Structure 1
Amino acid sequence: MIKVTSTNRSPVIGILAWLFLVIAILAGAARLGIKYAITRKFSMDDYLIFIALVLSVLQTGCLSIAVHNGYGRESKASSHEELETAVKAVYAAYMIYITCLSFAKLSALAFMTFLMQRTRKMEWVFTGLVVAWAVTAILAVAFQCGFPEPWNFLSHNCINREAWWEYFGITNIMTEIALIVIPSMLVFHIQMADAKKAVVIGCFFTRVFVVVAVVLELVYRDRNKNSTDPMLGTWEVAVCTQMIQCFAILAACIPHLKPFMDGLQSTGLRLYYIEGETSRRGDYEYGSRGKTIGHELSGLPGVVNKTTVVAHQQQPDWDDALSQNSQSHIIRETKTWVVEEQYHPEGSAGEGSAGESSVSGSRASRIIDRSSNDGRELHGSP
């Protein structure tokens, strides 16, 4: 049995790495399961977070190989072959780690653009920045050291890795703060109860845990930058990177939990697919075409009757909404109700009274038509 000592921290890295991976997988499975149970399909943000989950599994596997070959313990306790395998595994793990973070951010960004119900220049710019950030980071790690061994960070023919990771951490924090502020400002301007608004914004603020983990990573990197044995001295950094990866996936999954989505739906956004509706836009179906719905109402005890209610919902007159007048931002909805009641007089109690004539087996019916103008008005901002 391997013991944890001051010169061997590899068991700590291995155990915590797999623990964080399990948490990330459970969060991702819960998100995808809830989404499929509600909509019976997946959207772009779901595919992106699924890719992030697959990458997190691969990254944890690479890190486990590095731990098994001496990462986290003194270099002199490992053979030359083990050290070479360990640095190659760490090299691959860091590139997969950057890619995983990027897909988790893109998934959160895709969900944010849905909340805005359109993709503006700001969202395209933000997406481009995240992609450029990821590509440059992967290239920097790929060529961090000179050829023919660019993975060998134990050699002295490398770039200033401490300065590079400091830049990477700061830019990572900046993107996380943007993913907190932008959707929170969007929800802040939505008319809804303060309590629900606080819950929704609080879900976005869970990304603060990612920021805290990145700050811890930067602190430990600065503390161990002059370590004479990088294989042992960076074990705390390795734990922090696994924590960041887990929290990034977790933060992208929390806004998809059902209580949070219920709170958003109360604001008027259609986040769930409602059975019987057809939508003009896929993904979360927040708009539907006109439809006709029929309901049967049961009769009173002792009376043989049957009542059918048919409702037809018409489309709003969008042409009126385009006119530049005082009515331009009012959406009206008109509903027509048809109530049809059929009954058999001989089936009711108290029939056959004096002065009334009846015909055996006769059937009376009446139809009531009523048109009403729904008084609900939705006021949009100019």
Structure 2
Amino acid sequence: MTDHSAAVKVVTCFLLIVSFIAVVACLTTNWQVLRRKVSSVTLLLSTLIASIASGAAVSVAATHGLGQASPLSDDQVVVMQKALYSMEVLYVLTLGLGKLSVMVLFYSLLSSTGQSKSVLAATGLLLIWVVVMAIVVCLQCHPPEVWNIVGGKCLDVSGIWIAFGVMNILVEIMIIAVPSFIIFRLQLSLKRRLVVISCFGIRILDIAGSIVQLCYVRNFKLHADSPLPTNVWQWAICSQVLQTVAILSACVPYLREFLESFPSVGIQCDQVFGQ
């Protein structure tokens, strides 16, 4: 087995830099508009913070054995499992907060159009999904060693992540479908409709990433020749990629072109930008 720990840390660091630059660029270029969207901006920043914390946890796991070929000490195994556990919880929160940021922003833009009920319902379902999955992941093993997937009494960890991946895909489909359906009912020009739908359609990348990640869930199964979760490094990298994609796709609706597609909302983008 090749040592992949260095690659895990390098890729994670690069993805975090991309995420940070994307959020900063998004907020600074449109701050005059976005400063009035406190809830959605707060959720976006929370997504970035959770992603950074998740990346830090992955780096700690890689330092203490994740992806390494050499034998590990008992202390390394414990630290690695705790770091992986932290990463998993933060991973769920990152994806959930990113999705909520988009839906809350869309809801605020539609609040004066009378077309926001379906968005509110979808946001409610999304919130329930995030809370349930966060609880399941937090309690994947019997307390107090909820992190001990090697020696503890645990649920089917691979089953949990298969369920999460499938539901994540379904949630993404909902986030694409609901706004697209609403946009076709609004009195907008074809160009503006296409802009809005394209901004949500880019979330197909999230679906593609989830499908790839599902291919590596099997690595959570512990075998006689691999009794430690050192080989879940591929799944861990996929999780970091998905977090970055989630942040990028969450930033897209904050672009000026998207915001200007809603002339009926309280904020007049043209006036803000001096046009």
TM-score, normalization by structure 1: 0.64
Change (3 A) 1:41 1:224: closer
Task: Give the number of the structure with larger relative contact order, counting CA–CA contacts within 8 Å between residues 6 or more apart.
Answer: 2
* Count of residues in correspondence between the two structures: 268
Give the superposition deviation at 1:135.
2.0
**C-alpha distance in 2 between matches for 1:232 and 1:40:** 43
What are the ranges of 5 or more consecutive residues in structure 2 without an aligned counterpart?
none
Identity %, equivalent residues: 27
Shift of 1:184: 1.5
Secondary structure of the residue that 1:234 maps to in structure 2?
helix
Does residue 157 of structure 1 match 2:153?
yes
Counterparts in 2 of 1:208-219, with a 5 A limit?
Answer: 208-219=204-215
Pair 1:199–1:123, CA change in 2 (3 A) = closer
Provide the rounded CA distance (Å) in 1 between the counterparts of 2:255 and 2:49.
Answer: 21
Picking from 13, 20, 23, the partner of 1:25 is 20
Q: Deviations over 1:310-353 (max 9, x none)?
A: xxxxxxxxxxxxxxxxxxxxxxxxxxxxxxxxxxxxxxxxxxxx
1:187 aligns with 2:183: yes
Deviation at 1:131, TM superposition (A): 2.2
**Quick one: which of 91, 94, 99 aligns to 2:85?**
91
Change (3 A) 1:110 1:147: closer
For each residue in 1:122-154, what CA deviation from the matched residue of structure 2 results, as whole angstroms up to 9, or x when unmatched? Answer: 334323322222222122122212244220112
Q: Do 2:34 and 2:41's aligned partners in 1 also have CA atoms closer than 8 Å?
A: no
Aligned to 1:169: 165
TM-score, normalization by structure 2 = 0.87
Matches within 5 A, 1:168-247: 168-222=164-218, 225=221, 227=223, 228-229=225-226, 230-247=228-245
Aligned to 1:258: 256
Whole-angstrom CA distance in 2 between matches of 1:153 and 1:212:
28
Q: Aligned pair in 2 of structure 1 residues 40, 170: CA closer, same or farther (>3 Å)?
A: closer
Give deviations 1:90-117, integer Å, cap 9, x for gaps. Answer: 1111111111211111111111212322
**Structure with a larger share of its residues in strand:** 1
Instruction: Return the letter of the residue paired with 2:124.
Output: G
Please state whether the residue corresponding to 2:162 is helix, strand or coil: helix
| Backbone CA RMSD of aligned residues | 2.4
Aligned to 1:286: none
Greater helix fraction, Structure 1 or Structure 2: 2
Deviations 1:270-298 (A, max 9, x none): 452736xxxxxxxxxxxxxxxxxxxxxxx
- What's 1:139 paired with? 135
SS in 1 for 2:3: coil
Q: Distance in 2 between matches of 1:254 and 1:207?
A: 10
Q: SS of 2:140's equivalent?
A: coil
Contact 2:57 2:86 in 1 (8 A): yes
Q: Tell me the alpha carbon deviations over residues 350-378 of structure 1, each in whole angstroms, 9 at most, x when there is no partner.
A: xxxxxxxxxxxxxxxxxxxxxxxxxxxxx
Q: Which has the larger radius of gyration?
A: 1
Shift of 1:47: 0.9
- The whole-number CA distance in structure 2 between the counterparts of 1:60 and 1:172 is 20
